[in-house]
Structure 1
Amino acid sequence: MSVVAGVAGQPIAHSLSPLIHGAWIAAAGLDADYRAFGPADEARFAALVAEGRAGGLRGLNVTAPFKAAALALADQVSETARICGSANLLVFEDGRVRADSTDGAGLLAALAEQAPALDLSGRPVLILGAGGAARAAAAALKAAGAEVSVLNRTAERAERLAADLSVAVAGPETAAEAALVVNALSAPPEIDVGALRGDAVLMDMTYKPLLTPFLAAGRAGGLTTVDGLAMLIGQARPSFQAFFGVEPPPVDVRALALAVLGEAA
């Protein structure tokens, strides 16, 4: 019987996940399908999860605005997802729902690919934002040995994240000292790239556009940049393995995604 998985979010038409997973499925020769689901609201998302629990789906990647609901509907929650307060991966097995977050793994994979010279151990890292994506980044970077600070327009949210994950709230000098600055905001950050150290790495979790204003400013200043597409592909790899039981085959899914985005490599 064909294995069915997919991605759930609203809106969902822009998602590159079906393209990425579909290319891997074809290359691996699997009897499987990966679909985009666009539940209109949380009630319909819960119905989709119930379908998975009943055996109709093998798993779901979950994107906005259902990541918190995904966590709440799970029977088993990974420590990473618990820390993040949200889940982007649900796996259905024997009537149970297992939740995880692969965003942190995707972030570290992107850094390894596009900033291989960056050593995180003991280095100061600044995360811009305090939502679920920022939490995933903070947890992964702290586990990698970095000295993590968070900066958010609403100080209370930054303080809550810092307390939950035992990281720091950014001070005035943090950006200037940071070896890595990660933008986990949906909007361009208000940060003076020119004030950063000359060997700083900039990362943006957004991939549309691929070269965000934040990354463009860094690149113009000669800084190493890491884009959100590398993170998207990085977080998709453990999801594919969880759904289909095999590692993704060596397909250049980035080139396929760039073609759809209309971006140059």
Structure 2
Amino acid sequence: MILSGKAALAGVLGWPVAHSRSPRLHGFWLERHGIDGAYVPLPVKPEDFPSAVKALAALGFRGANVTIPHKQAAFQACDEVDDHARRLEAVNTLVFDGGRIRGSNTDGVGFMNHLRQSIPGWNAETGPAVVLGAGGAARAVVVALIDAGVPTLRLVNRTREKAEALAGTFGGPIEVADWGQWDTVLRDASLVVNTTSLGMEGHGPLEVDLDALPASAVVYDIVYQPLKTDLLRVARTRGNATVDGLGMLLHQARPGFEAWFGVRPEVDDELRAFVLRG
């Protein structure tokens, strides 16, 4: 598509950012809807982030997505943030609006929408949820699950102190459990979510013994490189329903695209196949 001088511009801020599939994702939606616009990768060093955000706004960008390691810095850069971003103290979507910078966090929404799309009829109240990890992604998933009404949320991290700090921040039904105590942690769980980078290409393996997990439980891995992680492969072999991480990426992108380009896009099989080919 040939851009005019009035093209709407947006992008993704990260360091590094070359691996991001967001430009391919948003490019697909721009083409599908015939929008005069562009979405570009924006590699920005951490020390340059505040000035880069101001420069993008001055250059007429409509906004940007924010990925590692800038989500906390983006929170600080905003003039206003939504309630979800305030709870997480992290922003993944920026909208430049009349000289003001508005921030939101759509990670939890993306996680939950993809879970419900993948497992129709899933009910948070069915039983305990287990979350592996205590980093930024875990924060978004934990809040989403608490808001959805899980009766108990077992938080497991290799460094227990970090899990305890997260539990102290959000309170509610969170119980911190020790890494490796899988018989106890998984025995009656209805959902297991891996939010760590373990199992991702270039990272170490995720070693979780699923023997105690009920066959009725759902296993969700937010990693999408590879799409079929060892965790999902083992879970599928033993009969558990599984959810991969690509859909979370696709769903979390929708609110930003609508804010910048004025169209509410759909997440469907055609989009998923296109992003996977990239």
Q: TM-score, normalised by structure 2?
A: 0.88
> 2: distance between equivalents of 1:183 and 1:240?
27
Aligned partner of 1:35: which letter?
Answer: V
Equivalent position of 2:98 in the other structure: 94
Is 1:178 paired with 2:189?
A: yes
Show CA shifts across 1:133-165 (max 9, x none): 101001111111113221111112111111211
Name 2:79's counterpart in structure 1. 75
Cα contact 2:126–2:190 (8 A) shared by 1: no
1:256 partnered with 2:274: yes
Match of 1:215 in 2: 232
Change (3 A) 1:94 1:231: same
What is the distance in 1 between the residues matched to 2:69 and 2:226?
A: 20
Aligned length: 259
Which of 135, 141, 149 is matched with 2:145 structurally? 141
1:79-132: per-residue Cα shift (whole Å, max 9, x none)? 211222211111111111111110101101111122224211253111111111
Asked if 2 retains the 8 angstrom alpha-carbon contact of 1:128 and 1:152, the reply is: yes
Deviations along 1:30-81, one digit per CA (max 9) or x if unpaired, are: 1111111111x12322222012332521111111111111111111122211
Q: What is residue 220 of structure 2 aligned with on the other side?
A: 203
Cα shift readout 1:168-227 (whole Å, capped 9, x = no counterpart): 123453322211111010113332112211111111111100011111111111111101
Note the alpha carbon deviations across 1:2-31, whole angstroms, 9 max, x for none.
110011112211111111111111111111
Q: What amino acid sits opposite 1:210 in the alignment?
A: L
Structure 2: runs of 5 or more not aligned: 1-5, 200-205
Partners of 1:93 and 1:139 in 2: CA distance = 27
Partner of 1:11: 16
What CA distance in whole angstroms lies between the structure 1 residues aligned with 2:229 and 2:244? 8
Equivalent of residue 208 in structure 2, options 166, 173, 191: 191
Query: What is the percentage of aligned positions where both structures have the same residue?
Result: 42
Asked if the contact 1:28/1:249 (under 8 Å) is kept, the reply is no
Name the SS for the 2:187 alignment partner.
helix
- Assess if the C-alpha contact under 8 Å between 2:125 and 2:150 holds in 1: yes
Map 1:13-92 → 2, pairs under 5 A:
13-39=18-44, 41-92=45-96
Structure 1 distance, partners of 2:246, 2:92, is: 16
